[in-house]
Structure 1
Amino acid sequence: MFSGDQNESIPEKHDGELIGRQDIRVLLRLLSCSMTIEKRLRRRFIEQFNTTLPRFDVLAALERNPDGVTMSELSRLLLVSNGNVTVLVRQLESDGYLSAEAPPEDKRRTIVMMTRKGREHFKLLADAHHKWIGSMFRQMSPADMQSLYLLLANLKVSLAAEEETD
């Protein structure tokens, strides 16, 4: 629906100063979009549910793993440290949304699972999250969405190839 720089209202760093540096301009545009989306999600989770985006992320990871995961697996899934996950899990456990227990065969591990209350809470959060994301992308046509998705897949391939050369 929109193309180029028409009707931009989200500022970009160094806008107009990087003529000839298309790679940097694309990166900055990607970052400005990503940061805008994340800020809006964070604000809406706080305002409407008195919760945080990281807490939502923990619940979403556990929704995708209904049999539970270890704390280390959860850290890996969320790309955060074990310490950060421990704090979030303890908070969500005290709210009754999660259970964290050591299996009888290995007391060194802790398996984290969502409770029924957690699943009900997550459904509310996920429904709102889907609505917010849909609203943020509403001005894009399905064809533009598909094109962007494929272009980002190409970027992931490029990033993976670059990592191999380091």
Structure 2
Amino acid sequence: MELSSLTESPSDALFDGGALSGTDERQAVRLWLRLLGCTHRLEQALGQRLRRNFGTSLARFDYLAQLQPYPEGLRMKALSRRLMVTGGNITGLTDQLLAEGFVTREVDVNDRRSHIVRITPQGLATFERMAVAHRQWVDALLAGVTEPDRQMLHRLLGGLAKSLDALPAD
């Protein structure tokens, strides 16, 4: 499948009204809408699968995914930054995962205003089961994109990320 047809569907007209034209003054907005539409569809599909197969949400999966490589834990503020959500969202997720035994939360001995969150052995085992399924689902969702197109898309989006990172803060 060609990369350009990855998102072709009847709902695309709602997002961008058709093909991207090099001379169209709305090109940047149309590209952004295409990226947003693809992201939304992928998140929706993964979220549905996580709910159906594990009774959890994509937000909870992402939370555990951020903690998994850090057995020493992360400060809640760092976790909030990594997940790009508010502190209130992190607190709510932490409370839920704490109640289920998936994480621990302790006051940071170096900064009593901060809390460190760690994934528990139970949380790690649960996350690892979900991660195996998640990888399979992502592979299936992207199966229609050829390997060369995947590599090109990864490279192009990496360039976009660098350019966004270089923008001055408002």
Larger CA deviation: 142-151 vs 152-161: 152-161
CA deviation profile, 1:18-63 (whole Å, cap 9, x unmatched): 8623322222211111110011111111111111111111100101
In the alignment, structure 1 residue 164 sits paired with structure 2 residue 165:
no
Structure-1-length-normalised TM-score: 0.87
In the alignment, structure 1 residue 129 sits paired with structure 2 residue 131:
no
> Structure 1: how far apart are the matches of 2:2 and 2:43?
22
What is the deviation of 1:8?
2.4
> Structure 1: how far apart are the matches of 2:19 and 2:140?
31
- Contact residue 18 and residue 24 of structure 1 kept, 8 A: no
In the alignment, structure 1 residue 88 sits paired with structure 2 residue 90:
no
Q: Structure 1 residues 6, 139: CA separation in 2 closer, same or farther (over 3 Å shift)? A: closer
Partner of 1:72: 77
What is the deviation of 1:102?
1.9
What is the deviation of 1:128?
1.2
Q: Runs of 5+ in structure 2 lacking a partner?
A: none
Q: Runs of 5+ in structure 1 lacking a partner?
A: none
SS of the residue 1:164 aligns to = coil
Structure-2-length-normalised TM-score: 0.85
Corresponding letter in the other structure for 1:122: F
Corresponding letter in the other structure for 1:63: Q
> Structure 1: how far apart are the matches of 2:6 and 2:89?
41
> Structure 1: how far apart are the matches of 2:164 and 2:7?
30
Q: Structure 1 residues 129, 37: CA separation in 2 closer, same or farther (over 3 Å shift)? A: same
Q: 1:98 aligns with which of 82, 86, 103?
A: 103
In the alignment, structure 1 residue 8 sits paired with structure 2 residue 8:
yes
SS of the residue 2:168 aligns to = helix
Partner of 1:115: 120
Q: Structure 1 residues 62, 3: CA separation in 2 closer, same or farther (over 3 Å shift)? A: closer
- Contact residue 11 and residue 32 of structure 1 kept, 8 A: no
Q: 2:157 aligns with which of 133, 146, 152?
A: 152
Larger CA deviation: 43-52 vs 97-106: 97-106
Q: Structure 1 residues 96, 7: CA separation in 2 closer, same or farther (over 3 Å shift)? A: closer
SS of the residue 2:145 aligns to = coil
Q: Structure 1 residues 16, 104: CA separation in 2 closer, same or farther (over 3 Å shift)? A: closer
